[in-house]
Structure 1
Amino acid sequence: MAEKRNIFLIGPIGAGKSTIGRQLAEQLNIEFFDSDKEIERRTGADLSWVFDVEGENGFRYREEKIINELTKKQGIVLATGGGSVKSCEISNLLASRGIVIYLKTTIEKQLDRTSLDKRRPLLQGKTNQRDIFTVLAKERNPLYEKIADITICTDKKSTKIVINKIINILK
C-alpha cells in the first residue's frame, strides 16, 4: 500500500506539487514535506533571499542535503522544487527511495497558476515569464520523464481527481 512507500512529486513550477502533495498526504494519513518550504524553515528566510545571497549553486547544495535527509524517511509525500531534477544526486535519490510522480502541465497553465505569485526566485523581476517557462521546459521536462514512475497531467483535472488517480494507481 501507498502508506508504506515514499511518494515524490516532481514537475515544473505551477504543476501543483505542493497543493496535491499536501492533500494526498492527508488522504493517505502520512507526513507531507515540501523541500522548498523546508529550506525556508531551516534558513529562516524565503527562497528569493537564499537565491540572492547564495546564488543558485548555494541553493541547490541546500536542496540536495535536505532531499537526501527527507528521502531517508519512510511513508512520506515530498513535493520537490521544480529544478531539483537538475541534480543527478537528487534524481538518483528520488528514483531509488520511492515512487516518483511527474505532475505534468503546460506553459499556459503555469502562466495562469503563477501570475500572482511573487515568491518564485526564477520569476522575480522577469517580464516575459512565457520565455522563462519555455526554456525551463526544454531543459527539465526530459529529466522529469527520465526518472518518473508515473506521469499525470494536471491541466484539466481538479486536485481531487489527480489525488484519486494517484491513489488508484498506487493500489
Structure 2
Amino acid sequence: MINTPNAITAVRTVVAMALAVSAVARPSVALTAGAYVTYWAGDILDGFAARRLDQETRAGAVFDIVADRACTALCAAALLVLRPDVALPIAVFLAQFMVADCLLSLSFLRWPLLGPNYFGSVHRGVYRWNWSPAAKALNTGGVVGLALLAPSPWWATGLAAAVAVVKAASLVTVSRL
C-alpha cells in the first residue's frame, strides 16, 4: 500500500488538516484558503500520480476517499469559524458528502474496478453525474465557492441540495445494478 500516490495522499491530508485545525483555533482566511488549496491540489496530484505512475490500487482509492472526508470536515469547520452565516449550506453539503457521496464513492468495490473514476464501465450516467471532472468540481468547489462569494447563503444551499438530490438518485441507480 505504500507507493507514491498514497504518500501524496498522506502528506496532503496531514498538511491540509493541520492548516484547517490552525484556522479553527486562530481564525484566518489565509490558513483556511491554504487548507482548501492543499486538499484540492493534493487530491488532483495523488490521482494524477496514481494514473501516470501506473500505481492505482483499490486500497489507494479507499484511502483517498477517506482522506477526502477528513480534509473536508476540517476545512468546513475552518470555513464556518470565518463565516457562520453559511452554516446551512455547509451542513447540507456535509450531510451529502460525508454520508451519501462516501457510500456512493465506495460502491465501486462491488465491481472489479480500481476506483470510482472507472465507474463509467458500469454506468455512464452515474459516472458523469458524480466523478467526471465537472461533477467533482461542482460537488465541493461549487458549494464552497458559492458559500463564499454569493450575496446570500441560499445560493449555496440550493446547489448543495441539488447535489444531494443527484447523490440520492445515483445511490438508487447503483442499488438497482
Normalising to structure 1: TM-score of the pair?
A: 0.31
> Larger Rg: 1 or 2?
2
Given the two structures, how large is their TM-score scaled by the length of structure 2?
0.30
The structure in which a higher percent of residues are helix is 2
